[in-house]
Structure 1
Amino acid sequence: MKLYEQMRKAHEREQLSIHELARRFHVHRRDVRQALASPVPPERKRAERPAPSLDRWKPTIDEWLAADRLAPRKQRHTARRVWQRLTEEHGAQLGESTVRRYVAEVRRRMDVPLVEVMVPQHHPLGEEAEVDFGTASVILAGIPVDVSMFIMRLSASGRGYARAYLNECQEVFLDGHVRAFEHYGGVPKRIRYDNLKAAVVRVLKGRDRIESDRFIALRSHYRFDSFFCLPGIKGSHEKGGVEGEVGRFRRRHMVPVPRVNSMAELNDLLMAGAAKDDRRFIDQRRITVAEHFALEADTLRALPAEGFDVSVVGSHRVDRKSRVSVRGCLYSVPAERVGKRLDVRV
């Protein structure tokens, strides 16, 4: 590097020719031309050393070293033992140093861990959203309570919607969708889910699901498609956007632990946090979430003219004390209903 610098300076200041520079610095004219063309010397090419004597034994060595993975740790082949076996058992005419170099190369290949690689996703505007529930702790009317947060996140703009509930029952799941769609002023074409009980009755093989009737009605009403992730850790990356959004929203807007007097006050706090998030930048984007959503809003499907009824109807039997049990709570009904089943709308 320093020699290249000296040649370049001498050529510029003294106007020396290539022949004169080669004679002064005792280098070949080819090196002078390279120095004048670039201040950085070209990378030296390493010649591949042929090993015709070793080539026929490489599969044997590979097999031995692969089998070592199942052998006791203190009874595995060393490079010297590999060389000894080749010469003693197979009559190979090889130098020990040649075998050592190849054994080291094989072990480097075998020691490289297979790392699972994730590819960043980019979504067309209005094409997709993700839904999930997360839990958070709050002080509600002076009592510590764990609440469930319904989170929907538009995959393209990254705009999120959060609402807190006291449980994750089906009508909460439905109500979260209705409010999120109204918040966005439209509906994405497809929504990703994990296997929530509010939507999935049974998980079948692959991506097949038996879905609940109320979820099918919601999907039909708003005309969006659903996509269910694989169960367990394998499917967690398939909706990584909302998975990260749950934790980020909780850390950003619920630390310290909120103290509120009602769920309405808590949800007002969450809406204020969502409005603040509209001004943030995601990753390396040059526009804010709000500016990105302004581009996405026109690509969302229009809301239906009629609203969706989120209530769930269930059939319950009246006991001998003229009561029905609905989610652990007992309600009195007229005595003539004893022993009969009633439809209860929640």
Structure 2
Amino acid sequence: MAKMSKVELYAAIRRDARSGMASRALQHKHGVGFRTVQRALASVWPEPRKKLPPRKTKLDPFKPLIDQMLRVDLDAPRKQRHTVKRIFDRLVDEHDAVEVSYPMVRAYVAARRPEIKVEAGRGPPNAFVPQSHQPGVEAEVDFGDVTVVLAGEQVKCCMFAFRLSYSGKAVHRVFASGGQEAFFEGHVHAFRVLGGIPTGKVRYDNLKAAVAQVLGFSRARVETERWIAFRSHHDLEAFYCQPGIGGAHEKGGVEGDIGWFRRNHMVPVPEVGSLAELNEMVDLWDLQDEARRIGTRPRTIGEHFAIEQPLLKALPDEPFETGLLMSLRVDRYAQISVRTNHYSVPVRLIGRKVRVMVHASELIVYDGQEEVARHERLLAKAGSRLNLDHYLEALVRKPGALPGATALEQARAAGRFTPVHDAWWAAVCKAHGDRDGTRALIEVLLLARHMSHEHLVAGLASALRAGALTADAVALEARKATEADQRESLELPKEPAKADTATVTFLTERRMAHLPPDTRPLPSVAIYDQLLRRRHPGAERPVEGEGS
């Protein structure tokens, strides 16, 4: 049974009193005293509870001293005003306030300093003024931290948010970091989703991706060159908020949106295999959020956005290259260094300079106009991402370096070097020795440049079951798997195969099977017999040295 409120108790007492119950009976029925019954009969509203006087603290005797220090600060130079630490030290040193703690002083100063400023007429209280926004004019941008389980590992990523101020329509994108590439790519993605660009100002923090230097306490900023070019390309007008907590209130819409999105869509922590998979989920969540209402608005986000979208500026005809182009030299380990991380390239490029296009989630390496490597960006610092295929030419000459290669370890972790590879490698090494067996494995790995990974693994498995420990046999079985998939895609009848048996067709037999039948007669040497000298039965070979 729910507990009765005091108003309900008074109503019950008054109702029973009207029915003729005496005061003592009312006290007994409702479990209250004489005074409560009299108050209920006198008024339908209970008397408000008396507010208790503030509890005394050890700081009370020193509060006038703290107030005096804060009043002196009103006329002191800005850089020579009392900090909380200085106030606490003076109380202890000059007034023997040994029983006062630092948190007590800090809490009192935080509440009292703005009050003293208002009392002295030096400024109004910290008030928030409601704002109205015109459709298609303003927007707000910010980054927020999100934690995700990426490929089984918990990592912290950066979520870009672009929010239209009128409708509240927001576009989100998760990146490995909050660098300039992510900043630009987030804008491009938001413009594409929204179908246009705001005609007025877009509010920003003083992000390093956009601001190189904050000039004093004004709104003037020294912007980065690439950001100036990006704004000019998209005809974007930037408005920079004040540094610190005051600036957060100037773009409170996107600040609150990031928190709401994180609480409603990132709880529990999402588990994904890649950032691309996560961003597909984020795009779906953004569409679903169009059906919700913000606060007490009568219309949904989607309904307001339908009004706002036609008023946005059109997108430029030509795209802007958001990636950062770098020229790097390949070291002797066939690696390049990008933002403290190392990425592999083919060993033939050692000692040469290559061009690297760095994007927010990946980087592409070019040798001239040819793309030679593509890597997903690493999340942590001082890491390495190595592709085993880049080292195969060197491993052919140094097969003994393969078992302990870092690239091989990463290939195993990524699932590119499977247990089937290991089993075939062990079998061929047992049959032909470690050196020749490892070279045979490298020849098999080179086949991956011309056929799919799945078909190559299937070929390894078939060759292993049949005991065919050569790269040619693996290539043949991989081609058979490829042709089987092609027949399935074309819905052609399959070749009959015996169950639980592994057959290997040698290359010579396979090539002969595709030739037309040979109808020529078999060769004969009979015509050459007439060229033989007829020997007499009694003739003997003359002895060497005898005369004729």
What is the distance in 1 between the residues matched to 2:206 and 2:354? 30
Tell me the CA shift for residue 243 of structure 1: 0.6
- Cα distance 1:344–1:287, how it changes in 2: closer, same or farther (>3 A)? same
Change (3 A) 1:116 1:310: same
Query: How many angstroms does 1:336 deviate by?
Result: 4.9
- State the TM-score, normalizing by the size of structure 1: 0.64
1:321 Cα shift?
6.7
- Give the deviation of 1:145 after TM superposition: 1.4
Runs of 4+ residues deviating >6 angstroms: none
State the shift of 1:230 in Å: 1.0
1:269 aligned residue (275, 281, 288): 281
Residues 68 and 239 of structure 1: CA distance in aligned 2, closer, same or farther (over 3 Å): closer
Match of 1:116 among 126, 130, 136: 126
Deviations 1:95-115 (A, max 9, x none): xxxxxxxxxxxxxx969x974
As a proportion of its length, which structure holds more strand? 1
Cα distance in structure 2, aligned partners of 1:311 and 1:240: 30
One-letter identity of the residue aligned with 1:179: H
Alignment of 1:185-196 (within 5 A): 185-189=195-199, 190-196=201-207
State whether residues 175 and 275 of structure 2, in contact with CA within 8 Å, keep that contact through their aligned partners in structure 1: yes
Task: Tell me what 1:70 maps to.
Answer: 68
Instruction: State the shift of 1:67 in Å.
Output: 9.8
Residues 1:182 and 2:182 aligned together:
no
The residue type equivalent to 2:292 in the other structure is R
Distance 1:266 1:335 in 2: 36
Q: Which residue does the alignment assign to 2:434? A: none
Distance 1:68 1:342, change over 3 A: closer
The residue identity in structure 1 corresponding to 2:260 is: R
Alpha-carbon distance in 2 for matches of 1:172, 1:283: 31
Q: Which residue is 1:211 aligned to?
A: 223
After TM superposition, list the pairs within 5 Å mapping 1:89-108 onto structure 2: none
2:143 aligns to what?
133
Q: Does residue 160 in structure 1 map to residue 170 in structure 2?
A: yes
> Larger Cα Rg: Structure 1 or Structure 2?
2
1:278 aligned counterpart, secondary structure: helix
Tell me the residue number matched to 1:149. Answer: 159
Letter paired with 2:170? G
User: 1:142, CA displacement in angstroms?
Assistant: 1.5
SS at the partner of 2:311? coil
Gaps of 5+ in 2: 1-63, 70-117, 359-548
TM-score normalised by L of structure 2? 0.41
Output the CA distance in 2 between the equivalents of 1:264 and 1:284.
35
Change (3 A) 1:318 1:233: same
Query: Against the structure 1 CA distance between its residues 202 and 344, is the aligned structure 2 distance closer, same or farther, given a 3 Å change threshold?
Result: farther
Which amino acid is the alignment partner of residue 68 of structure 2?
L
Aligned length: 242
Q: CA RMSD in A?
A: 2.7
Match status 1:287 vs 2:299: yes
Percentage of pairs with the same residue: 47
Decide whether aligned partners of structure 1 residues 315 and 213 sit closer, same or farther in structure 2, where only a CA change above 3 A counts.
farther
Secondary structure, in 3 states, of the residue corresponding to 2:291?
coil
1:247 is aligned to 259
Q: 1:280 to 1:315 in 2, by over 3 A?
A: same
Gaps of 5+ in 1: 1-65, 72-108
Larger relative contact order (Cα-Cα within 8 Å, sequence gap ≥ 6): 1
Residue equivalent to 1:225 = 237
TM-superposed CA distance for 1:256, in Å, is: 1.1
> Which residue pairs with 1:47 in the alignment?
none
Deviation at 1:288, TM superposition (A): 0.7
Q: Distance in 2 between matches of 1:135 and 1:315?
A: 31
Cα 1:227–1:323, aligned 2, differ >3 Å: closer, same or farther?
same
Q: Which moved more, 1:319-328 or 1:271-280?
A: 319-328
Q: Deviations over 1:119-157 (max 9, x none)?
A: 121111111111100011111122111111000000111
Secondary structure of the structure 1 residue equivalent to 2:251: helix
Query: CA-to-partner distance for each residue in 1:10-41, whole Å, 9 max, x for gaps?
Result: xxxxxxxxxxxxxxxxxxxxxxxxxxxxxxxx
Distance 2:257 2:246 in 1: 19
Contact 2:331 2:351 in 1 (8 A): no
Q: Cα 1:315–1:227, aligned 2, differ >3 Å: closer, same or farther?
A: farther
Distance 2:66 2:326 in 1: 62
